[in-house]
Amino acid sequence: MEGRDRLRELLDAVLDEEHRTLGDMAGGAHSSPYHFSRLLSRDTGEPPVAMRRRVLLERAAWRLRRGTSVTDAAFEAGYESVEGFSRAFRRAFGHVPSQASVAESPGGHWLPAPNGIHFHPPTSLWVHAQEHSMNPVTELMVQHDLDDTRALIDLAKGVGDGDYRHEHLPGNTVLTWDGEESSLAAVLEHLVWSKEVWLASVEGAELPARGGDDAISLLARHDAVAPRWLATVREIDRRGGWEDRLVDALCEPPESFVMSSVVAHVLTFAAHRRHLARQLLRAGGHAVDHGDPIDWLRARTGVA
């Protein structure tokens, strides 16, 4: 058909209110799920399920800033519970939905996107021609680290205290200045503590108080620091601050660090500790996955 905009048809299928699954989207575009996903991913650089989730979160943020309740925003965005919506919103925006404030700019509700496609009020899309989005590998690694850490702590809630604190790896140290990490409790606590300390350094805050190391306390600590860490990394990237230097007054004596090396440091030792945690879980007879970012991304986007 002359003048047919196939990309627009694909996007309409993604964002149709009735299309909640990949199968629904593909049917609306008169395509198979495989070809629909392949075409949209090729043309926009983003899988359809991930795009729908992101754009609906952008719409929810815009709606919240204009007085919509968190409950209404959650169900409008397709979430079955307010708790699930709040977790997704916090991971995306770096704060809980109840803290949404009025945006000062037209794109204040936008999330990082590989294609410049965003929700534009009241019901349209906006394609931002000069979008600067974080390198997708960096974004994936940071988000996978945070989600995987949370999943491991959540799994540890089902581990008995004796096994949780048993020293399966006596004498094990990851970084000499952090001390011994011989138990599951110590490894998971250092996973969270590392981000708390580095974030305090970046923000110029005092050394944070070290909270409890039981799994429930660690989950609360992680949920407090994770969205702030993600928001900080995104802000460093947005302003092109990877070569900026941080003078860390929390060190004795103070030391200077390049911001790119700080993020790389956190990711490197977080990955090591996450796999140590898996080793310790298996040593206690607990089933755990491989922590593969390929599997994580597939589960997150719904794309094989």
- The per-residue pLDDT for 101 is 59
- The CB density around residue 30, as the number of other CB atoms within 10 Å, is 9
Candidates 27, 32, 1; CA nearest to 14 is 27
For residue 245, the cross-strand partners are 258
- The per-residue pLDDT for 303 is 56
- The ranges of the chain annotated as CATH 1.10.10.60 are 6-127
- The per-residue pLDDT for 170 is 93
- The CB density around residue 97, as the number of other CB atoms within 10 Å, is 24
- The per-residue pLDDT for 302 is 61
The ranges of the chain with pLDDT < 50 are 1-4, 102-106
Report the distance separating Cα 57 and Cα 117, nearest Å: 13
Query: Do residues 47 and 301 make contact, with C-beta atoms less than 8 angstroms apart?
Result: yes
CATH for the 136-301 domain, from 3.20.20.70, 3.30.420.40, 1.20.120.450, 3.40.50.300: 1.20.120.450
- The CB density around residue 46, as the number of other CB atoms within 10 Å, is 21
- The per-residue pLDDT for 44 is 78
- The per-residue pLDDT for 105 is 42
- The per-residue pLDDT for 288 is 95
- The per-residue pLDDT for 250 is 66
- The per-residue pLDDT for 301 is 66
- The ranges of the chain annotated as CATH 1.20.120.450 are 136-301
Q: pLDDT tens across 103-160, in order?
A: 434 456 788 777 778 887 766 677 765 555 677 888 889 989 999 999 999 999 999 9
pTM for this model (two decimals): 0.64
Candidates 221, 230, 225; CA nearest to 153 is 221
Report the distance separating Cα 43 and Cα 9, nearest Å: 12
- The per-residue pLDDT for 109 is 77
In the block, residue with structure tokens 């001390």: 179
* CATH code for the domain defined by 6-127: 1.10.10.60
